[in-house]
A and B are shown apart, each in its own frame.
Chain A
């Protein structure tokens, strides 16, 4: 019998008042995948995370985790998922050990078995020396490790993480990814995380790109990039409309204009540049040629820049909260 997927999301929509946070999202995540929801702030990924974590029920559509409905069988779901929120869920007044013991008790672990599990997590996450320290005295990076230890203590089959890299320096981020790879390999844990960092999404097995509540792309990072033909040529200029017109007329190409950039996909970027340069050199500040990135995928699918999709630089949750 085929295994049920780790996560199945079908036609899920969610509104906060008049704000449509999620709009008919459907996708499925296989067991053992490291899956990333990528999107700018306000894209709906945090809302989706809340629905997956059973914090709030979906208004429309269904979500099943390991075959169990998050609304009707939330208890079965909760036992099998580990949740790492973006905000700290540890109690700063309690020690690392006490926080983990508390978490274990919430999940029905106790006695010698719980002590063993805590020891194991402390060792794995390099927290053994800190066990008796109050969490509020730890650095941000160490606190995130305690969060991770909490989320993994009961050996969840699916680990859900909301923006886990927030507040981590690059070295700690790399440690985190190594660790996630390891638990996936050794314990077949499915890892589902949200991020607004393009470089982080590159490391996923598969990713879903969300924009304004809609699912705009779903594939492996490589496949998504390869859907863009060849190279990306970008021209920075003051009057992009005029430059685009010139390119359309003289070269019969259809460039995209985004902010002050004229953007072209072309199988051989460097050749295009040699054709372009004489035509537009008086109007452009710079011409760059590059291999497509996930940002290019985002631009291609949405018609706007990744960061431009952010209305303001606020806390993402506030933007997704009801008006």
Chain B
């Protein structure tokens, strides 16, 4: 540490201004970005696995996949495409929110909790930062859609991006809520395996809703409306193809997804007020 003489005497007084929640949220969001791009394995992990799923399952089910109702058929690769987009959102949401547990263990989070930052800014920064990362991944993957017979048109494309953003926000919010009270990443992995991944399997990503219990489960799964919304947007100019996939109507997809998103943000802001065992480390 330097020579005391080099330091000018300063009138004492805190300089913390009216803590701007927006600036704090921006800072937390930006940090997510910087961390993400500096960890190559995370970039590869969040895009690589969905891409492999799409290639392998797309090829594997090419001959056998058939939509019900005897309607217009689409190849599995194409049917599966919106599901993979949502899977990218889900994986990124998991990666981003699992860091809450690490941040708490390492002490980064405690420093945020004792700063004059409103809770909503903490939640917003994490969610929007994480969603932005997810969205970029999804948009890169969306380019592969050029190889398919999707017919979004301009409006469908814009709608897809907006829909992916809202869905990303709600999935990141869901991850945030799950991660907030957890003390170990192992626990989070368990939740991922038995809750998040099955939710995606039952979202209409893999197969249209079958009759019976499974079909009802899919009806109450919010992820069904995310996948359905994306699919309907991508078939904006060919709605009959989306209808054949058995997805809910577009207005319902919007309503459920927006409602789910609002609920996740509100719940996230609420849980973030609680302190956990991990804060007492």
Contact = CB atoms under 8 A, between A and B. Distances in A.
Given A89-B110, A106-B115, A155-B10, A50 B280 contact: yes
Given A87-B106, A89-B111, A93-B39, A107 B1 contact: no
Of the four ranges (under 10, 10 to 19, 20 to 34, 35 or more), the interface on chain A belongs to 35 or more
Given A56-B275, A108-B20, A155 B38 contact: no
Given A109-B17, A155-B10, A188-B12, A83 B116 contact: no
Given A317-B281, A321-B277, A106 B27 contact: yes
A70 to B, nearest CB: 10
Interface stretch (A35-43, A121-129, A258-266): A121-129
B213 interface: no
A2 to B, nearest CB: 18
A105 interface: yes
Nearest to A106: B115
Looking at A88, A134, A189, which has the most chain B CB atoms within 10 Å of its CB?
A88
B44 to A, nearest CB: 16
Contact of A108 (B6, B16, B28): B16
Nearest to A95: B34
A187 interface: yes
B14 A105 contact: no
A109 B26 contact: no
> Ordered nearest first, which 4 A-B pairs have the shortest CB separation?
A87-B107, A108-B17, A89-B111, A105-B27
A102 B1 contact: no
B38 A89 contact: no
Contacts of B17: 107-109
A109 B19 CA distance: 8
A124 B280 contact: no
A187 B12 contact: yes
A105 B110 contact: no
A238 B170 CA distance: 69
B62 interface: no
Nearest to A120: B7
Interface in A114-137: 117, 123-126, 134
Interface in A72-102: 75, 78-81, 83, 85, 87-94, 98, 101-102
Interface in B149-202: none
B13 A90 contact: no
Contact of B280 (A88, A154, A186, A320): A320
Of the four ranges (under 10, 10 to 19, 20 to 34, 35 or more), the interface on chain B belongs to 35 or more
27 contacts: A50-B280, A53-B114, A55-B114, A55-B279, A78-B115, A85-B111, A87-B106, A88-B107, A89-B107, A94-B34, A98-B31, A106-B24, A106-B27, A106-B117, A117-B15, A124-B1, A126-B1, A155-B10, A157-B14, A176-B1, A178-B1, A178-B4, A182-B4, A182-B7, A186-B7, A186-B10, A189-B12
B110 A187 contact: no
A179 interface: yes
A79 B4 contact: no
A93 B35 contact: yes
Contacts of A103: 111, 115
A186 B6 CA distance: 12
Given A85-B111, A126-B2, A179-B1, A105 B23 contact: yes
Nearest to A113: B15
B1 A80 contact: no
